Amino acid sequence: MKIIKLVLSTAVLLGALMHQSDGQQSRPLTEQLRLAAVMPRGAMVYLQARDLSGLMKHWMSSPVRGDFYKSPSFSAFSKSRIYIKLQDRKSDFETALGFGLDEERLTELAGGTSAVSIYDIGKLEIVFVSEVSRARAIATTLFKQIPQFQERSAGGTAYYVHEVTTDGGRLNQQFCFAYAGGKLIITTTEGLMIRGLANITAPGADSLLSDVMATSNQAEGLATHDLTLWLDQTKLNQNRYFTNYWIHHNASEQLPNSLAGIQSGLIDLTLAPEGMTERRWFVLKSDNKTKSGNAMAPEQATGLLRFAPETAQLVQIHEQGDGNESLGGVISRALFGKLPDDSASTPPQSSEGNGPGSTTDEGHERTERYSSLDMRFDVDVDDEQAPKLGAEAGSPATAGSRKRLEPAIDPEKRFARAAATVLARVSPTAYSEMTRSSLEPGKPFARFERAVVIEMKSPVALDRGAIERAVTDELRARFVVAGAEPKLDWQEDAGIRFVAQTLLEQGAAYSISGKYLVLASTKEFARDIIQAASATTARNAVKIDAPVELYTVIRIAAAKPVFDKLMSKLDGRTEEAARTKKDEDNADSDSETSEGDNSDSTESESGSTVKFFSDNLSSLIAASTIREVRLQRQTRGPVMIERLSYSW
């Protein structure tokens, strides 16, 4: 479990509550984000709630809260290193102060517009500000405990301090609170309190508002709603707690879709009875700015969306900007699947030249070559006459030595280049990818079907013979043993051309509907896609209302049964497997260097093993009650804009 997951999952779970609609009148952003003016500069996260008191009342009375705390997801999180560390730190504060710091206390302290800034995750250096009347503030437990605090003054304003020793006696902090300017202020260091009070008196160069507004001024259409989050992504990428606990581990500059390309961001949430809308603005660094103008028109994206059947659990609509060979690779993965990464699984070669079937010096016992299947399986036992998939054998230097591997054409690139020639004639303008999964009675695993729908500028130029030859050639290369000559004839059924699924149920199908080319891994999926497009006129289709570079639909409720069964099977949901894994999990959790708690399982309070996918993630999804998510993305100059719509 990850620290960022706590923030995000809390926001999602809050969003599952019934909440009033927006309806606020537009005000200047400096007014909407006014509490940022109180915060000292240097924060890496700023979170603002428009009505924290109302949110906390809904949260405390919601069944979603109970479901979350009873879930394996929370059970695993409560055993994570970061949770235990934060609980220990909180316990030190509670012991020193003489009262609890929990949800009930936050509900008591919460006023209207409220905000919290995080300056140091490990030391728990935060500033909390809430707009509340003086009478209500004085009635809280904080002010009732004033005799336990020392009264001090900064700029003529009184504040109250209690020294706290924490982190096993290695760290001295202060718990401070004050009431000034119609706001209750709480900090975990005295320095932050003094700076915050100075900002209330006269906001200046030390105010966080200038940093937040630097991002806000580039966020076209921004208006704050129920929850607004500002991120200094550059600082987060350099924070070891964030990099360890961020589940995607993509903060490195070397990784694709890296967070290192983002400078700062704003996320705004609007909560409603039917769902939640999340809007994101990410300011990109100068070397990562994408040129605007590549977005699809709304009607173009809507046209592709018409082809998505209700059974498609993942739909992604893309503008065609990476070239025909790249699109050919997309088709290859849809029809034939993704090949494993050879480099990731090839074991280091021995300098002593031990080859397949070699024996050890002692006992002459055969090495366990295939205790786990990796690239050695292909090297050792592949048919010499079969087309090489990713590697070609060279001549051995000496008898009995291992054959040297030399690079060969990537199978995916091989098909992509063949497909690119066909695609060049039809001039693709945009395309969509679709995936669906299903459970088959009596079979242990799930069935996955994939498809690509391509919008063509010149559909009459499509060379059907060329695309059919490219597909059958790739089927033979990947799935047919050398010397066998299976009959791979194309057949037609109701306008759908297909190859019969005789090769381990591997096949391919395609059809043309107007200016759209549909390619699918099965005839059934191609048929459902064509039928969905023709049936759309009879029902209210979702309209995309703005230009997009990417439009994604994730039908979580439809995919969850398959996900749960498949993950349970892969996680080895047996008592014996759980006992075997138990000691390994406990050992992993003790490592400081791997404190991200990214292991596959965690022990729950009952002693059972909480598997990450089948228990942890599945129960979090169930508790959130999210049924469907839709994402729209567009880049305008230096800002990437995303809008997500969650449906309960």
Q: Is the pLDDT of residue 251 over 80?
A: no
Q: Kindly tell me if the per-residue pLDDT of 178 is higher than 80.
A: yes
Which three-class secondary structure state does DSSP give residue 52?
helix
Task: Answer yes or no: is pLDDT of 21 > 80.
Answer: no
Q: Give the angle 434-464-550 at the CA atoms, nearest 5°.
A: 25
pLDDT band at 192 (very low <50, low <70, confident <90, very high): very high
| Pick from 288-292, 306-310, 473-477: least confident | 288-292
Rounded CA-CA distance 492/498 in Å is: 6
- 271 backbone dihedrals φ, ψ, rounded to 5°: -100, 140
Encode pLDDT of 479-490 as tens digits: 777 666 667 889
Statement: residue 506 has pLDDT above 80:
no
* pLDDT surpasses 80 at 46: yes
- Which pLDDT score is estimated for 203? 82
**224 or 353: whose pLDDT is higher?**
224
Is residue 595 predicted with pLDDT exceeding 50? no
Nearest residue to 426 via CA among 328, 521, 335, 281? 328
Question: Secondary structure of the chain: what % helix, strand, coil (to 5)?
Answer: 40, 25, 35
CA-based torsion, 72, 582, 91, 592: positive or negative: negative
Closest alpha carbon to 412 in 340, 467, 472 = 340
* Conformational region of residue 310, where left means phi above 0, alpha means psi within -120 to 50, and beta covers everything else: alpha
Confidence check: pLDDT of 248 > 60: yes
Nearest to 262 by CA among 218, 295, 221, 232: 232
Q: Residue 259: which of 282, 241, 240, 280 has the closest Cα?
A: 282
DSSP for residue 146: G
From residue 612, give the alpha-carbon distance in Å to each of 74, 75, 154, 191, 586: 11, 11, 49, 40, 14
Q: What is the 3-state secondary structure (H, E, C) of 505-538?
A: CEEEEEEEECCEEEEECCHHHHHHHHHHHHHHHH
- Asked if 318 contacts 549 with a C-beta cutoff of 8 angstroms, the reply is yes
Nearest one of 19, 381, 40, 2 to 210, comparing CA atoms: 40
DSSP, res 369 = T
CA-CA distance, 478 to 486, in Å (whole number)?
13
Residue 594 pLDDT level (bands cut at 50, 70, 90):
very low
Query: What is the reported pLDDT for 291?
Result: 47
Closest Cα to residue 194, out of 145, 127, 143, 133?
A: 127
Instruction: Give the distance, in angstroms, between the CA of residue 532 and the centroid of all CA atoms in the same chain.
Output: 29
For residue 171, pLDDT beyond 90: no
- Coil, strand, or helix at residue 355? coil
Give the model's pLDDT for residue 39.
Answer: 97
Q: Could you tell me the end-to-end alpha-carbon distance of the chain, in angstroms, rounded to an integer?
A: 24
| Structural domain boundaries in the chain | 3-288, 298-339+411-555, 559-624
- Whether pLDDT at 504 is above 70: no
Which of 164, 212, 162, 202 shows the shortest CA–CA distance to 180?
A: 202
Position 168 scores a pLDDT of: 83
Least confident segment among 83-92, 116-125, 534-543, 558-567: 534-543
Condensed to tens digits (0 to 9), the pLDDT of residues 401-420 reads 444 444 456 666 889 999 99
- Residue 14 vs residue 564, higher pLDDT: 564
Q: Determine the pLDDT at residue 505.
A: 61
Each as own residue / partner, the long-range contacts of residues 57-64 (CB below 8 Å, 24 or more positions apart, any chain) are 57/107, 58/14, 58/17, 58/18, 58/19, 59/13, 59/14, 59/17, 59/103, 60/103, 60/104, 60/107, 62/16, 62/17, 64/13, 64/16, 64/17, 64/623, 64/624, 64/625
Residue 533 identity (one-letter amino acid) = A
Amino acid at residue number 124? L
Query: Which region among 376-380, 445-449, 456-460 has the lowest average model confidence (pLDDT)?
Result: 376-380
pLDDT for 574: 52
| Residue among 230, 212, 18, 45 at smallest CA distance from 121 | 45
For the stretch 438-455, pLDDT in tens is 988 877 778 899 999 999
pLDDT category of residue 382 using cuts at 50, 70 and 90: low
Residue 374, classed as helix, strand or coil, is: coil
Q: What is the DSSP string of 321-348?
A: -S-HHHHHHHHHHHHH-PPP-HHHHPPP
What totals of helices (H) and strands (E) does the chain contain, helices first?
A: 23, 24
The span from the CA of 298 to the CA of 643, in Å, is 14
Asked if 131 and 113 count as a contact pair (C-beta separation under 8 A), the reply is yes
| Whether the Cβ atoms of residue 24 and residue 112 lie closer than 8 Å to each other | no
Closest by CA position to 64, among listed 9, 146, 129: 9
Cβ–Cβ < 8 Å for 77, 1 = yes
> Is the predicted pLDDT of residue 394 greater than 80, yes or no?
no
Is the pLDDT assigned to residue 576 strictly greater than 70?
A: no
pLDDT band (50, 70, 90) for residue 90: confident
Residue 496 CA to residue 506 CA, distance in Å, equals: 17
From the list 211, 137, 124, the residue with the least C-alpha distance to 203 is 211
pLDDT top residue among 185 and 487:
185
What pTM value is reported for the model? Answer: 0.81
